Chain A
Amino acid sequence: MSNLVETKNLVTTFPYDGKKRIRAVDGVSLNLKQGEIVGLVGESGSGKSVTVMSILQLILPPGKISGEVNIEGIKGNILDYGMFSDEVRSTRGGKIGMIFQEPMTSLNPILTVGYQIQENIMTHLGLKESEAKQKAIEMMKRVGIANAEQRFEQYPMQFSGGMRQRIMIAMVLAAKPDVLIADEATTALDVTTQAQILELIRDLAKKENVTVVIVTHNLGLIARYADRIYVMYSGHIVESGEKFEMFERPAHPYTRGLLNAVPRLDDDKTRRLVPIEGLPPNPANMPPYCKFFDRCLYREDRCKERMCELEPISENHFVRCCLSVEELDKKRDQIEGQFKSAPVKTISGEVCLEVRDLKMHFPVYRGIMKKHVGDVHAVDGVSFKVYTGETLGIVGESGCGKSTLAKCIMRATKPTAGEIIYKGTDMALLKDRALKPFRSKITMIFQDPFSSLDPRQTAGSIVGEPLKINKITKTREEYNDRVDELFRLVGLDPEYRSRLPREFSGGQRQRLGIARALASSPDVIICDEPVSALDVSIQAQIINLLEELQAKLQITYLFIAHDLSVVKHISDRIIVMYLGTVVEESPAELLYSNPQHPYTKALLSAVPISDPKVDAQRERIKLIGEIPSVMARSAGCPFCERCQYASERCRTEKPKLKDCGNGQLVACFLYD
């Protein structure tokens, strides 16, 4: 099969600090064949986006592209034509369509979506207006938008994130491209929506023989949806090959490292993640030898002698490493023998925190008169217990009330009703003053390592703040010692105390956030998506740190995240939330091996496992539709509109959490 698109030694540079130029893409050669799905995977900043933007010549000066890009049907190197030439414009959006991460910015908010699709069809296919409209409606139906005729007249604002991404796909596919590039197109979406969108893309692509490039940092997605994979690191392709081959016999130390660093749904309890220590090299200071050297567990002195090239190790498998596969494999056993298993923790039988029938309703006002038109039931009767030293995971899609629940327990807001019992005291309705002693015992780690640290405070004073507020340390010396100790506890050099947050990397900042949460020696730490803003290799560092700290200090965690693999990895028990209610509570292993609630099953099935063999054998349960609007709540089971087992009873009566033995609780009439 011939190549649709082929790049040879593509280099894209940007000016840096005056005269220097950094190579964001450093000699990338790749090819795309008709009808295949190619995964381009790597951490943020590895040059994935710049690579695809260079192919489309979307790089604006002062950025510079060099090398060769050949596109089928266009003679010679398309880079020679100039970015405004007809050839390039017919490629962009015509031959090669692209979907970005944030569909809101790619759709014009003041035009109807129908008009935008129609417009696109008219430019690229040269159809008349009425024909284009017909075609647009047909495309909207094809991407699964119900009531396409009516929704044709609606504006982007009126669509959910997943629906907007469908519109984008309709728009791009309407121009009949040969290649569809999806750059982190589903990263901002919930797992179930993500699965829906990618399945849609895959089915459409297979049907129409379109080539798809999935650009992502998520190995699981690649394992499930791609046929062939390119792994990028610091502007280089370090390994490429056919999917099953790559996951079965990963060769490059970076690929091996990534696979060891990501948590998987089918992990057993004792697996400990192996983070890739350190950070990618600063693009302004690239070593002239292997860019992975500093972080590589397999490195040898000879790696420093030259920059090696991408070389074949089998017919379709290329690796960029000075060591041969045999040498790497030999070293592997020795290296992996040193991996520690997860630290052992002790969970006591004492209930540390109990939440009983917690409710948080927000009133909704509408119109100029601010008429009270109803309530959003963000948290609607949640109950659970957490034992000392345990990690309770809370999962659910965005908008299901996880963060509101966390804010209530932290008493950042006052819950509408219910009890929050910490060591025998109900603190649900306490006033600020009475809350103060609890503030030091229940602390929080935030999602965004950038907004959670005051940019104008030094690292030391951020970490030490709770010590001062709660008057924990008496003297200045004691204070200094404690801050130093906290720094060391989270693996930071106390020398960094006087630095400002902007001088730390994302992972280090998250460590500072953890140190701050630990400062007042809390019993409970609420972690709200603590790793979702971090790259996989850094994610593993933070997860390990949290596990170690728990084993050492007997802390209780409430671990909130939307990433089921992460939650499953770190938690002892998990509660699954849907629309403000708990639908299932279960020990972590059982949740994966024996899920009960139809929603849990669908959620688990939407999460890919980064091993294509295992993943292919799993049962697929598709979830219909999207989360209903917060205002429209059914009187019956919150899940009834999307549940394939829904009966008459489900629509009128609300199921209660029931024990079905072995520690699992389910709220579903199927188990009555």
Chain B
Amino acid sequence: MNMNKITPSSDADVLKRAKRREQKKRDIRRFFRVMFSRKIVVVGAAGTLFFVLVAIFAPLIATHDPNYIQNGKNLLDPSAQFLFGTDMYGRDLFSRIVYGTRVSLLTGVLSTLLATLIGTFLGMLAAYLGGVVDMVLMRICEMMRAIPQLVISMTLIAAFGGSMMSMVIILCFGGIWNSLRMMRASALSVMSNDYVLAAKLSGEPMLKILYKHILPNSVSPIIVSASQSVGFTILMESGLSFLGVGIKVPTASWGSIINEARVYLITNPLYALIPCACLAVLIISLNLLGDGIRDALDPTLRGES
């Protein structure tokens, strides 16, 4: 009990802080151990990492300018010069797919991130404030759920045009509602705990309660769902591009490449197959990784026990 009068910088304090850091390290290690406890998650992580690296180092990996048209060299078969051959305009397919990774990943991750941030905030507000705010937000959620996301997105694209940034915003708009509803439910259950009431009663301002007490205790299902919806968003973007209403040409996007290639499916099957395969592998990898994150954050959600 003589340790009571320690000043903040005494030895004991340093020791304590070191201990906490140690604990934190251990927690992180445990997180990853659980996350990768299933081998298949490692495969997913490797696949994801591969595409992330490709996206980052696209300029180094690409052999050509993805938008440079080689006159007269359209629809060539794979060769040493054009690894995957060339497309209908004579652009190098390999380079286009490499740059397409950037577009797909970036739109997918950015829009999911944005949607989750906004959805989380609105969901917390709905749960915390209740009443009219809650009612209005929930009505909007129901409305959004009643209209297929594709229809909403296509309408918005007609209004905003198809730059990558507007694509991100449009996809994000579709994703907000799911995380809003999840966050609201999660926050409501956290709010039934007395510690939230205690914070309210000690006069803590609303934003601080949201940030300090409600968010940390309710965010894990949101992270899980966000990690699992990145793949879906990428698919959505590709789908829109495939329909020709996605990201504007000439920017390489997997969806738009598949769109162009569909005419040549019989004559040049690789033209369509390669971007399709990339898309499939990326999405499966992302979903597997998402499963791993879910296992680590919330073991109760895991299918088998």
Q: Report the separation of the CA atoms of residues A646 and B202 in the bound assembly, to the nearest whole angstrom.
A: 45
Q: Which chain B positions have C-beta within 8 A of A447?
A: 194
Q: Is B267 an interface residue (CB 8 A)?
A: no
Chain B positions 181 through 207: 1 when the CB is less than 8 Å from some CB of chain A, otherwise 0? 000000000001111011111111000
Residues of B within 8 A of A412 (CB): 197, 200-201
Q: How far is the CA of A462 from the CA of B213 in the complex (A)?
A: 11
Contact yes or no, A439 B201, CB < 8 A: yes
Contact B216 A456 (CB under 8 A): yes
**B38 at the A interface (CB under 8 A):** no
Contact digits for B1-17, partner A, Cβ 8 Å, 1 yes 0 no:
10111011000000010
Are the C-beta atoms of B217 and A440 separated by less than 8 Å?
A: no
Is B204 a contact partner of A465 (Cβ separation < 8 A)? yes
Q: Are A410 and B201 neighbours in the complex by a CB distance under 8 Å?
A: yes
B20 an interface residue at 8 Å Cβ cutoff? Answer: yes
What 1/0 flags go to B63-81 for Cβ under 8 Å of A? 0000000000000000000
Considering only CB atoms, which chain A residue lies closest to B197 in the complex? Answer: A412
Chain A residues with Cβ below 8 Å from B20 are 498
Residue of A nearest to B193 (CB): A451
CA–CA, A488 and B73, complex, Å = 83
Which of A94-102, A318-326, A387-395, A476-484 is found at the contact surface with chain B? A476-484
Closest 6 CB pairs of A and B: A452-B194, A439-B203, A451-B193, A446-B194, A454-B195, A466-B202
Asked if A574 is at the interface (CB within 8 A of a chain B CB), the reply is: no
Contacting pair B203 A476 (CB below 8 A): no
CB contact under 8 A between A477 and B7, given known A453-B195, A456-B216 = yes
Q: Is the CB of A455 within 8 A of B201?
A: no
A451 CB contact (under 8 Å) in B19, B195, B200: B195
Within 8 A of B (CB), among A449-508: 451-457, 462, 465-466, 469-470, 476-477, 480, 484, 488, 493-495, 498
Would B198 and A440 count as touching, CB distance under 8 A? no
Between B3, B5, B16, B202, the greatest number of chain A beta carbons within 10 A of the residue's beta carbon is seen for B202
Q: How far is the CA of A412 from the CA of B198 in the complex (A)?
A: 10
Known: A465-B199, A477-B8. 18 other contacts (CB 8 A): A411-B201, A412-B197, A444-B198, A446-B197, A452-B198, A453-B195, A454-B199, A454-B212, A454-B213, A455-B217, A457-B212, A462-B195, A469-B204, A476-B8, A484-B5, A494-B3, A495-B3, A520-B202
Q: Complex Cα distance A411/B202, Å?
A: 11
- Distance in Å from the Cβ of B210 to the closest Cβ of chain A? 13
Q: Are B203 and A452 in contact (CB under 8 A)?
A: no
A-B contact count (CB 8 A): 69
Indicate if the CB atoms of A448 and B201 lie closer than 8 Å.
no
Q: What residue in chain A is nearest B206 (Cβ atoms)? A: A432
**Once the chains are docked, how many angstroms separate the CA of A453 from the CA of B193?**
8
Interface centre among A436, A462, A466 (most CB of B within 10 A): A466
Residues of B within 8 A of A446 (CB): 194, 197-198
**Distance A452 CA – B199 CA, assembled complex (angstroms):** 10
Instruction: Specify the chain B residue showing the minimal Cβ separation from A497.
Output: B16
Q: Name the one of A444, A470, A484, A493 contacting B201, with C-beta atoms under 8 angstroms.
A: A444
Q: 8 Å CB contacts to A: which residues of B32-84? A: none
Chain B interface extent, by class: 20 to 34
B192: chain A residues at CB < 8 Å are 451
Say yes or no: is A13 at the interface (Cβ < 8 Å to chain B): no
Q: On chain A, which size bracket covers the interface?
A: 35 or more
Query: Min CB distance, A127 to chain B, in Å?
Result: 41
Q: Is the CB of B195 within 8 A of A488?
A: no
Looking across the interface, which residue of chain A has its beta carbon closest to that of B199?
A: A465
- Contact check, B204 vs A484: say whether CB atoms are below 8 A apart: no
Q: Choose from A451, A456, A457, A469 the contact partner of B194 (Cβ within 8 Å).
A: A451
A469-B203 CB under 8 A given contacts A446-B198, A454-B217, A498-B16:
yes
Q: Which residues of A contact B (CB under 8 A)?
A: 410-412, 435-436, 439-440, 443-444, 446-448, 451-457, 462, 465-466, 469-470, 476-477, 480, 484, 488, 493-495, 498, 513, 516, 520
Query: Once bound together, how far apart are the Cα atoms of A466 and B195, in whole Å?
Result: 12
A451: nearest residue on chain B (CB-CB)? B193
* Chain B, Cβ-Cβ closest to A519: B202
Of the listed residues A436, A454, A455, A462, the one surrounded by the most CB atoms of chain B closer than 10 A to its CB is: A454
| Closest residue of B by beta carbon distance from A500 | B23
What are 17 A-B pairs with beta-carbon distances under 8 A?
A: A410-B201, A435-B203, A439-B203, A444-B198, A452-B194, A454-B193, A454-B195, A454-B217, A465-B199, A465-B202, A466-B202, A469-B204, A477-B7, A484-B4, A493-B1, A495-B3, A513-B198
Contacts of B5 in A (CB 8 A): 484
Give the chain B neighbours of A470 by CB distance below 8 A: 202-203
Contacts of A443 in B (CB 8 A): 201-202
In the complex, the answer to whether B1 meets A452 with C-beta atoms within 8 Å is no
* Given A412-B197, A452-B193, A452-B194: A494 in contact with B16 (beta carbons within 8 A): no
Shortest B266–chain A CB gap in Å is: 57
A495 to B7 Cα, complex, angstroms: 13
Cα separation A447 to B197 with both chains bound (whole Å): 12
Set of chain B residues within 8 Å of A498, measured between Cβ atoms: 16, 19-20
Q: Shortest CB–CB separation between residue B203 and chain A, in angstroms?
A: 4
**Chain A min CB distance to B299 (Å):** 16
Interface residues of B in 223-255 (CB under 8 A from A): none
Smallest CB separation, A257 vs chain B (Å):
26
Q: Nearest Cβ distance between residue A473 and chain B, in whole angstroms?
A: 13
The residue on B at minimum CB distance from A411 is B201
A488 cross-chain contacts in B, Cβ below 8 A: 4
> Which residues of chain B come closer than 8 Å to A466, judged between CB atoms?
202
On whether the beta carbons of A448 and B194 are closer than 8 Å, the reply is: yes
Bound: A450/B195 CA distance, A: 9
CB distance from B135 to the nearest CB of A (A): 11
